Structure 1
Amino acid sequence: MHKPNQFDLFGQKRFLPLFLTQFAGAFNDNLFKNAFLVLIAFHGLSTAGLNAATLVNMAAGVFILPFFLFSTLAGQLAEKYDKATLAQWIKLLEIAIMIVAGLGFIWHNAALLMTCLFLMGVHSALFGPLKYSVLPQYLKENEILGGNGLIEMGTFIAILLGQIAGTLLVQHQPHGETLVIWACVAVAIAGYFFSRSMPSAPPTAPDLKIGWNIFSETTKILSHVKQNKTVFNSLLGISWFWFFGSIYLTQFPNFAKDTLHGDATVYTLLMTIFSLGIGVGSLLCEKLSDSKVELGLVPFGSIGLSVFAIDLFFASANLPGTLQTAQSFLMSTSHWRIIIDLFLIGVFGGIFIVPLYALIQIRTEREFTSRAIAANNILNSLFMVVAAGMSIVLLNAGVTVRELLLIAGILNIFVAIYIYTLIPEFLMRFIVWILTHTLYRIKKTGFEYIPENGAVVLACNHVSFMDAMVLAGAIRRPIRFVMDHQIYNLPVMNFICRTANAIPIASTKESAEMKDAAFTAIAQALKDGEVVAIFPEGRITKTGEINSFMPGIERIIKTTPVPVIPMALQGLWGSFFSRKDGTAMMKMPRGIFSKIGIIIGEPIEAANVTRQELENTIRQLRGDWK
């Protein structure tokens, strides 16, 4: 039986045309740009008496500049107009630009080609907010992470293929420029026809008044985004990735030539390995997070970036000075560690960035998503300019390329710590994700009974100190757990509980005030449409059997009548965190990847909820597997 996965989106008209439109645009950007740069670097193309090095650096700035100038406008346009129609307008603009660029190639006019490069930057700046903000309109919530992964994977592969194609075509003399012209125009036309197949995506803010002042609109958008700390810091996280990634991408030519003693084919090989790594990492996100937006992957990705960036520094030391081709480079075992490091830097980069894009899409108001992505593009560009400036300063100060890449890896550690200090939710989810994905293999049944939105109470048997984390790691929606105050205050657990906004509770004997406060908080959470999870036994089992349910569940439902979903945990009895054979967490662990089960039953309407019936239902769900 086929198991649904993100690749199924390629069979959907609501996704494939968008993917192909984005792929064609990214491919064409890099095909044109690399062909232009090769003409400058190897075929003497120049203007105004500027040397090749100056023109190459100018070209990089000219392509980035439109992201500063037009991202705010792009975000507003994507809110005000149908995004599919807007995509068609942008693709028609691309065709016109490529026709003019064709004249630049025919006439060998560097100034005209530089102008077209600027205009292609405008094209990309206009399309950027659209391509990400339309995903929540086209995809279901459980498809958003996979869709982002495919878009990110496709983008980097398109960039790689475009760079290779631009380099190869323009050097196919004497007809290289002609081949580039035909290719650029053909890809632009293909992109337009792909965009015509995109389903309608109605405007989310049709009454929006366009603000033409770049600076005031940028300030306004950034101020709005900053109100949502999680989204704003996600934008900073993505921008940091582009800071980190742009250093690597920019230094690859010199790294290949001066450190690895390779020719141009080695540079192409490094680009291929890095891009494929990002593609693989982007696709892995859905598998690692079970198709939900898992914030715990972000710290996981940042750790991998630094670990393998630091290892690359040591792996690339004291290499033989003989000239290497891609073939000889691959055949030497001394280079395999470098290849693995670069590939895994790409993999962990994909794992880092995809959940952040998805998080922005689901945590930002629908009518503001395009402008949030526009703010992201502005910040990305700013960070990339700062990365370029830092690289120039350090390299001129005598830092080697190897050392510069190491510095980027070390800086990543401090930036990660800073971000996770500001937003502890990332670190909390990472701890939950690591624990639930290393200690257990979870068999899930009945998860379709948990609604995508709306208030509901989850009721589950209580077997171990890990129960809440197992459920939090397995269930897509954020959960407000009602926790015994003693468990709530345990080391590590306290950080997780506070960050997850859990509700501590005590018995009347221990603290009647805390108990009343807990029930007040539960009622408010349910009124706000949240998911509340309780363990009706009131304590962890000492025998493995389900204890009698306490009356608290009836009090909750009487105060706030909402459906109750019965759940049963299986297989946790006897684990390190259970009370089998003595005090929990005071015995030898039984190993990792233990098989456990979570069974979810059909929702019970509030009018039919009694603690005895709920207890009987959960006993039946659990069965004999403790």
Structure 2
Amino acid sequence: MYSASGLGILATKGEILPSHAPLGFVLMACAVAELYLCYRLPTMTQGSSESFDKEAYLSGKSLKRNLALLQSHRNIWLSVVGIAVFWSISQLLLASFPTYVKAEFNELNTFKVQMIIGFSGLGIIVGSIIAGRFSKQYIETGLIPLGALLVCLMTLLLLSFSSLTPYAIVFFLFGMGGALFVIPLNALIQFHAKEGELGKVLAGNNFIQNIGMLGFLVIGTIASLAQIEVSYLFYLCMVVAIGGMIYVVRLLPFSLVRMLVTLAFFQRYRLNVEGFENIPEQGGVFLLGNHISFVDWAMVQLALPRKVYFVMERSYYDRWYIRIFLDLFGVIPVSNAGSKRALESIAQKLQEGHMVCLFPEGSISRHGHLNEFKSGFELAAKHLESHQAVILPFYIRGLWGSAFSRSHTGFQERRKSFAKRNITIAFGESLDIHSNAQQVKAKVFELSFSAWKSQCEALPTLSRAWIDSAKKWGSEVAIVDSMSGSMSYTRMLAITLILSKLFANQTKEQQNVGIILPASLASSLCNLSLLMASKTIVNLNFTAGQKAIDAAIASAQIKTIYTSQKFMDKLEGKGVALSFPQNVKVLYMEDLIGIVKSNKIDFVCKMIQAILLPSFILKWLYVKGVKNTDVAAILFSSGSEGKPKGVMLSHLNIMSNILQISDVIHARSEDSMLSSLPPFHAFGLTVTMLMPLLEGMLSVTHADPTDAVGIAKAVAKNKVSVMCGTSTFLGIYARNSKVDKMMFDSLRLVVAGAEKLKKDVKEAFVMKFNKEIYEGYGATETTPVASVNLPSEFDADNWELHKASKDGSVGMPLPGSAIRIVDPNTMEELPVGEDGLILIGGHQVMVGYLNDEEKTREVIVELDGIRWYKSGDKGHLDSNGFIHIVDRYSRFAKIGGEMVSLGGIEEEIAKIIKKEEIDESVKYVAVALEDSKKGESVVLLVSGEQEQCQKLESALKDSALPTLFKPSKILYVETIPVLGSGKVDLKGAKDLAEKLLG
């Protein structure tokens, strides 16, 4: 034989043994290393009381039990057979190929032959990596027929070549196909094995494999002794490979369908699965979840290792051009006329241990939210016992805005990308088969948090997102300022590149940087530039008063504040003269913009960079050392009920909320948003300043939200389509006689937040502008939006209204957010419709309070793997998932043992004002003060014309309100204390009442 170098022939034992001895030493070293690694494995606690039964082992009883266990589960047995077939023919091929090469090609160089065979090992490595990538979070059984096909084709090519070189490719593809075939089968074995039986199943699997390999090795040996040509052994491998693969794929037919679905969607979609461990490996499973697109079924099937029978509307099923394809999937058609038979079919499939998927909404969502869950599935479940099947809730995220969804085409255009779309499907824990529609929908709502998890965790920082947005929208106008004019994305990017370097030098060794600016172009540039400089932005509330500002500066350890001289002069003209500690440096944006304009060469260079350099290079040059979990902004809460708290919001918090809001408002290419809310408020920072700039919407800024005429002119001139404001500000616009109805014609969506939307404001807005106000809900601690009402959509195909709003509610939770109503003392979840403490869960829940871990622990609780914020609000969820708020827990007066809502009293007063035609300029707020006799009493503060105030007092006394609802005292004040956001300063009102009463 040839030596390893191939330079000479080794003829005697004396020559052969020394040349092969090093291989023996290498094998011995590997064996020692294996032994060492075995002893390095951690010692685990024995999970079973079973012990080794020597007698059962020697008699074969143990083996018989293990083999019976394999055969008792069809999918496990088929997987074991498939794996055994592959390794058996592999054994025969590897053993007989050297003989074939020697006979056909007269090749005696064993090194060359073994190197060709070694390509099969390389193929197995590559195939394993590919299979691992496909099956990262779920079992991609679509690879099974693909791998089987590759193995069969390679065995057919074994006798097709006249030179050795092509065999390296054949063995490589053979190994790769084998890995694609074997790895999903091994995963299926582990998935389907019952808890406590996996060890026995794997032992039986190994036994079958070894028996198969040994059997084929014996066949090879007998053939060699009988001097049968090797080509006949190859023919045997072909027949066994083709026969075995057909057997497995035929008995696992849905894997072939999976392959077709995988090939169809792999190029455009990347599927992530959360909660895979919750999927039952056997038994009847009723899959119930949201319906967001025409391809939801494909995502469900791709995520599951078992075949799924889908329930479909018969009108779609009866279309001849897709019916054959649907029958391949075993679709169950359902219609109103023949629903009884369909329900029986569903129940039968579940009784037989199959998976059945139904979308309880009945049709594809037209607004991206969950629709009403129909109760039809409950009728199918009535035919079943609890042990026969379970309900498995799921939530699909990522298809809203795709061409397969029913979202607005403008929104689809905005979300179009050449990159793969990330799709996530989250599975929850199994529910009892007799759970009702409300219970299932509540769990599906919570699952949206899990479905958004992978997407949110991968979100970029705000600075990186800004670069991506600016590069994407380029020369389009990014912002229009009422005072400063307009600016394109590219120009804004160039200026932020300059300012970020300037700010970094000016704030060295400082992390938190203060900003005192209203909604404006200057504010947007300042905030974005500081974020680009990896700083934490702290927009200070310039309406909170000197004491609050000083406290915020001290708490956040601010050493530098950016503001505007013009703005400071305007504040001083309004009686707000701010001063700052001596150790705080104040810099003015006018001076900084002047520096940018004076250095024209630098500006031109940055413009060239902004235009020519790709995003990843700009990020590498200008954004460093920031993670999306780092704190991006510190906002001081409104302080409407006490001392303002510093709320720390991470890049992930803000980016998550921006994505959530953009999804539900269907941000379109033609949209423009009014930005007038001050950025010291979470609503102003996240929703009206950052969101439009990062989502490619035109931002129209106006510094003063109380300037009704100026706001109306900005809306009319720039055809603003989306406007967000507080109830107070929207009321100002509705009451101003100089604001004409036509000025708000362009608005398609008006959202109120930050405070409760007053009924009279909503009605006045509709009466004057014919525009509905949709109320949202949230808190600074939730970045801020947690829920919102939206325009309902009509589905003409099914003659059905997709409700996205409900009077008296603050909407449904945003996708990716969860709402839970609990007992405030025990944290136990309360039934649907029962009032309790509102918990808000989501990726937008704050990092915590600045310098106050104790307070953070008080308001943040972790339940079921979700961080929840205790909102302090009392309310309930209705059967359709809408949130109804009663009042703040702190806004209840305890009078003679009875809890009376101060907000409820104010609502009754609003009705009296409307009924008695009292002037709307009358303002009021109810506060609770200590009372030695009753515990607490209600005091009403009223401001306005004296005659109108007295009219209100008289009407209250004569009203039919319960005694508890009637204020014990009415105090006339010059003005009701109000915060800069427009919200009533409840603490200030209470302090004022106490002061007036001595």
Give me the TM-score of the superposition, normalised by structure 1.
Answer: 0.55
* C-alpha distance in 1 between matches for 2:403 and 2:27: 64
The residue that corresponds to 2:212 in the other structure is 383
- Residue number among 115, 121, 125 corresponding to 1:269 in the alignment: 115
How far did residue 468 of structure 1 move?
Answer: 0.7
* C-alpha distance in 2 between matches for 1:189 and 1:360: 31
Equivalent residues of 1:235, 1:356 under 8 A apart: yes
Two-structure CA RMSD over aligned residues (Å)? 4.9
The residue that corresponds to 1:508 in the other structure is 336
- Larger Rg, first or second structure (1 or 2): 2
AA of the residue aligned to 1:482: V
- Residue number among 328, 336, 349 corresponding to 1:495 in the alignment: 328
The higher-RCO structure (CA 8 Å, 6+ apart) is 1
- Residue number among 427, 430, 448 corresponding to 2:256 in the alignment: 427
Equivalent residues of 1:457, 1:534 under 8 A apart: yes
- Residue number among 452, 456, 461 corresponding to 2:278 in the alignment: 452
- 1:516 to 1:546, Cα distance in 2 relative to 1, 3 A: farther
SS in 1 for 2:174: helix
Say whether 1:191 aligns with 2:34.
Answer: yes
- 1:513 to 1:475, Cα distance in 2 relative to 1, 3 A: closer
Structure 2: runs of 5+ lacking an equivalent: 5-9, 410-417, 449-659, 669-998
SS in 2 for 1:461: coil
* C-alpha distance in 1 between matches for 2:224 and 2:667: 63
**For 1:139-178, what aligned pairs fall within 5 Å after superposition?**
170-172=17-19, 177=21
SS in 2 for 1:371: helix
* C-alpha distance in 2 between matches for 1:508 and 1:474: 30
**For 1:476-491, what aligned pairs fall within 5 Å after superposition?**
481-484=310-313, 490-491=323-324
How many residues were matched structurally?
418
* C-alpha distance in 1 between matches for 2:202 and 2:190: 9
Which has the larger strand fraction? 2
AA of the residue aligned to 1:212: Y
How far did residue 228 of structure 1 move?
Answer: 0.8
Residues 569-600 of structure 1 deviation map (CA, whole Å, 9 limit, x = unaligned):
6279656x99x99xxxxxxxxxxx99555356
Say whether 1:234 aligns with 2:79.
Answer: yes
- Residue number among 221, 229, 237 corresponding to 1:408 in the alignment: 237
How far did residue 218 of structure 1 move?
Answer: 2.7
The residue that corresponds to 1:442 in the other structure is 270
* C-alpha distance in 2 between matches for 1:198 and 1:298: 32
Equivalent residues of 1:298, 1:355 under 8 A apart: yes
How far did residue 207 of structure 1 move?
Answer: 2.5
- 1:483 to 1:203, Cα distance in 2 relative to 1, 3 A: farther
- 1:259 to 1:512, Cα distance in 2 relative to 1, 3 A: same
**For 1:50-449, what aligned pairs fall within 5 Å after superposition?**
170-172=17-19, 177=21, 183=26, 186-208=29-51, 209-210=53-54, 211-262=56-107, 263-314=109-160, 316-317=161-162, 319=163, 335=165, 337-391=166-220, 400-402=229-231, 404-437=233-266, 440-442=268-270, 447-448=273-274
How far did residue 226 of structure 1 move?
Answer: 0.8
**For 1:14-29, what aligned pairs fall within 5 Å after superposition?**
none
- 1:219 to 1:184, Cα distance in 2 relative to 1, 3 A: same
* C-alpha distance in 2 between matches for 1:287 and 1:269: 27
How far did residue 427 of structure 1 move?
Answer: 3.2
* C-alpha distance in 1 between matches for 2:119 and 2:400: 42
AA of the residue aligned to 2:341: E
- Residue number among 414, 418, 423 corresponding to 1:598 in the alignment: 423
How far did residue 415 of structure 1 move?
Answer: 1.6
Equivalent residues of 1:255, 1:401 under 8 A apart: yes
The residue that corresponds to 2:885 in the other structure is none
How far did residue 307 of structure 1 move?
Answer: 1.3
SS in 2 for 1:212: helix
Equivalent residues of 2:349, 2:356 under 8 A apart: no
* C-alpha distance in 2 between matches for 1:360 and 1:482: 28
- 1:556 to 1:515, Cα distance in 2 relative to 1, 3 A: closer
* C-alpha distance in 1 between matches for 2:219 and 2:357: 49
* C-alpha distance in 2 between matches for 1:378 and 1:284: 27
Residues 512-553 of structure 1 deviation map (CA, whole Å, 9 limit, x = unaligned):
33236547877x79xx9x986433443568x99999656237
The residue that corresponds to 2:769 in the other structure is none
* C-alpha distance in 2 between matches for 1:420 and 1:383: 19
**For 1:575-586, what aligned pairs fall within 5 Å after superposition?**
none
Equivalent residues of 2:362, 2:374 under 8 A apart: no
Bigger shift: 549-558 or 398-407?
549-558
Residues 15-63 of structure 1 deviation map (CA, whole Å, 9 limit, x = unaligned):
xxxxxxxxxxxxxxxxxxxx9xxxxx96549xxxxxxxxxxxxxxxxxx
* C-alpha distance in 2 between matches for 1:409 and 1:312: 9
How far did residue 222 of structure 1 move?
Answer: 1.4
How far did residue 485 of structure 1 move?
Answer: 5.2
SS in 1 for 2:289: strand
* C-alpha distance in 1 between matches for 2:370 and 2:35: 64
The residue that corresponds to 1:60 in the other structure is none
* C-alpha distance in 2 between matches for 1:449 and 1:235: 26
- 1:537 to 1:264, Cα distance in 2 relative to 1, 3 A: same
Equivalent residues of 1:298, 1:356 under 8 A apart: yes
* C-alpha distance in 1 between matches for 2:662 and 2:222: 64
* C-alpha distance in 2 between matches for 1:572 and 1:405: 53
Equivalent residues of 2:150, 2:174 under 8 A apart: yes
Q: How high is the sequence identity, in percent, across the aligned residues? A: 19
How far did residue 250 of structure 1 move?
Answer: 0.3
AA of the residue aligned to 2:278: E
